[in-house]
Amino acid sequence: MEQRVTRAQRSQKHTKHPKMNRPKSNDGEKKRKKSYIASNLAKVLLVLILMAVFFVVGTMIGYGVLGGGNSFDVFKSTTWEHLFSFF
């Protein structure tokens, strides 16, 4: 006699996602967690570096173009002392 295979039994044998059939290992999870942390740390560092670059470029444009002075005068300490004297 022929055995009837139900739809649920067929779907258990052949899943669409190959990751579901593999046994879980702790090594793979640790590697994924380290790469996740490293990629997020790299993104945060990239954002901080870009913020610093845009701050420097923005102050140079603001002081040089809009303020009418020399763009590189923004790096002088007297400029920042004058700015902080308002606070």
Range of the domain at 46: 28-84
Q: Output the average pLDDT for the chain.
A: 80
Backbone angles phi, psi at 76, to 5 degrees: -75, 145
CA distance 26 to 17: 20
CA distance 43 to 30: 20
Alpha helices, DSSP H only, in the chain? Answer: 7-13, 26-61, 77-84
Domain-embedded: residue 33: yes
Amino acid at 2: E
Domain-embedded: residue 18: no
Whether pLDDT at 23 is above 70: no
pTM over 0.85: no
- Into how many domains does the chain fold? 1
